[in-house]
Amino acid sequence: MNSVKILAINPSPTEISKAVRISNNLHKKHGPFDGIFFLGDVITEDGSLPEELDEPVASIFHFEGVRKYEGSEKSKLKFMKQCGILRLASGIRVGYVSGKLDDIESDMEKVFANQFLDILVTYQWPTTIAKEEKLSLVGDSRLNDLLEWTRPRYWFCVGSNNGRFFERLPFKWDDDRVTRFISLGQQGTQDKWYYAFNLNLDPLMDKEGVSKFGEKPQIQQKEAPVEIESRKRKLEGPEVRVKREKKNVAPENCFFCVSNAKAELHMIISIADYSYMTVAKGPLTTRDKLGFSGHGLIIPIGHYPTFSKYRDAEEPDKKVEETKLFKEIEQYQKSVVSMFTSLGDYKVVFWEISRANAIHHHIQFVPLEAKLEEHFETQMKKQIAYNQKKYGSNLVYTKDMESEKLSQLINNGDYMQIRIVGPDSETKYVFELIEDNVDLQFPRRVLAFLMKLGRRVIWDKCRETLLEEASQKDVFREKFQPFDFSKEKNNNK
């Protein structure tokens, strides 16, 4: 087990019973959670909790807010008093400071000085962050030292009676620890009041922060942890959807746009009229058998998240399959198959994940020894089962979907498609994407284990130097030249 799941909720004091039911349902659907934390004031004005509560299926910890807790120690929820450090079964360390700080100010340094934490729970914000957002009523300066002492990987709070949703971009410390600060709105308001996430057991596996502590971040966060979104409405039951925020990235900042001043031009193999081909950064496959990895991407030149968005903007009177872009990319794919077939007994696996809220559409490919194809679907089913168990995802595929239905999906829906293509054969695995919690590394992970390259699942751990990337491109281009239709087109211009 490399990570655990945590759930934080800011429930309304009048809706505690419902909050427990929702927690139980989330635990079954998206858990199991190593810890569930009720933030803010969960107690009513008389200082108690409802007597009739469903039995929590996992430990639910709660704290004091503005009101003092006068309830029973035998409550079904676990009260954590005012100041201390809780160690979960996984070893995750959770610090908490609640209630009136005047009562515990003298104890805070004794408890927390030089005690690095995985999670910190407070009622208010530190003024260090409150001032960044020009908020004066949600912060307390006495929490600033707490931030410095504990350097928590996640800090959860609510800020005020009704709560306020805010998620600061991650920042890192001089020792490379990363802190994420999240404030939640209250159940029943229009703000987000749930937050669920995977927490690595090893802090060094945390994603890198985007700013140093004390610097106001100026760039966009690359990827948020999985979170449970209230959809800006009051939730009446446990039905929630896992969602990733849409990323608004302009062409000048897009990794895949050749117009970007920082584009990796040294990796481009071929450029046609509407698309181009490049070697992959952090390739899955190695040089061992072919002298180059063979892992590449085919990318539209235009900045569009899907083929259908390109169609709508450029050729609205056509189906996606009839557009110039789609046909040109098909040409690239046929050329790639011809090239690898000439190099040995290979087929090519192409995969794409098409979502309306993506940034820039692209298709990846790797060569696959033909003898491995018979094991591909079995390996894919294993990975689907693993994702279902670990993340609660529900991936369902259709093998060789009939053409009319596939056309409908490509033109109107979100989908993931994996194709295994040979000179005289093609097998398609098509996934209709209904939920937002898409595992973007799913195809790569399937192939990694199929080809016994499990250590190369994460592209960022397979990075190469500029010289190695350029060398990959040079060898690939040399092998591809006899099949490169774009060269013929450019020569005829």
Q: At residue 489, does pLDDT exceed 60? A: no
**Judgement on whether residues 209 and 256 belong to the same structural domain of the protein:** no
**Judgement on whether residues 232 and 257 belong to the same structural domain of the protein:** no
CATH of the domain at 182: 3.60.21
Contact (CB, 8 A) for 441 and 462: no
Position 255 confidence tier, pLDDT thresholds 50, 70, 90: confident
Position 488 confidence tier, pLDDT thresholds 50, 70, 90: low
Q: Give the model's pLDDT for residue 72.
A: 59
Q: Give the model's pLDDT for residue 215.
A: 55
**Judgement on whether residues 465 and 388 belong to the same structural domain of the protein:** yes
**Judgement on whether residues 259 and 209 belong to the same structural domain of the protein:** no
Q: At residue 434, does pLDDT exceed 80? A: no
Q: At residue 45, does pLDDT exceed 50? A: yes
For the chain, give the mean pLDDT: 85
Q: Give the model's pLDDT for residue 74.
A: 64
**Judgement on whether residues 214 and 74 belong to the same structural domain of the protein:** yes
- Burial of residue 212, with CB atoms counted within 10 A of its CB: 0-12 exposed, 13-18 middle, 19 or more buried: exposed
Q: At residue 259, does pLDDT exceed 90? A: no
Q: Give the model's pLDDT for residue 150.
A: 94
Residue at which a domain ends, from 221, 243, 265: 243
Q: Give the model's pLDDT for residue 40.
A: 87
> Could you report the per-residue pLDDT of 126-143, keeping only the tens digit for each?
998 888 888 877 888 889
**Judgement on whether residues 259 and 396 belong to the same structural domain of the protein:** yes
> Could you report the per-residue pLDDT of 231-248, keeping only the tens digit for each?
222 222 333 333 444 557
- Determine the distance from the C-alpha atom of residue 261 to the mean position of all C-alpha atoms in its chain, rounded to a whole number: 26
Residues facing residue 348 across a β-bridge: 367, 421
Q: Give the model's pLDDT for residue 258.
A: 86
- Long-range CB contact pairs, 379-383, < 8 A, 24+: 379/446, 379/449, 379/450, 380/418, 380/429, 380/446, 382/449, 383/442, 383/445, 383/446, 383/449
**Judgement on whether residues 239 and 258 belong to the same structural domain of the protein:** no
E strand or H helix that includes residue 403: helix 403-412
**Judgement on whether residues 147 and 188 belong to the same structural domain of the protein:** yes
- The residue-averaged pLDDT of 196-220 equals 64
Helix (H), strand (E) counts: the chain = 11, 24
**Judgement on whether residues 211 and 119 belong to the same structural domain of the protein:** yes
Helix axis angle for 324-343 and 466-480, nearest 10°, is 90
Residue at which a domain ends, from 191, 221, 243: 243
- The residue-averaged pLDDT of 390-397 equals 79
**Judgement on whether residues 177 and 290 belong to the same structural domain of the protein:** no
Position 456 confidence tier, pLDDT thresholds 50, 70, 90: very high
Helix axis angle for 307-314 and 324-343, nearest 10°, is 140
- The residue-averaged pLDDT of 88-101 equals 89
The least confident of 161-170, 194-203, 246-255, 299-308 is: 246-255
Structure tokens at 384: 């689907």
Q: Give the model's pLDDT for residue 228.
A: 30
Residue at which a domain ends, from 195, 221, 243: 243
**Judgement on whether residues 303 and 204 belong to the same structural domain of the protein:** no
Number of structural domains found in the chain: 2
**Judgement on whether residues 309 and 395 belong to the same structural domain of the protein:** yes
Position 473 confidence tier, pLDDT thresholds 50, 70, 90: very high
Q: Which domain holds residue 340?
A: 251-491
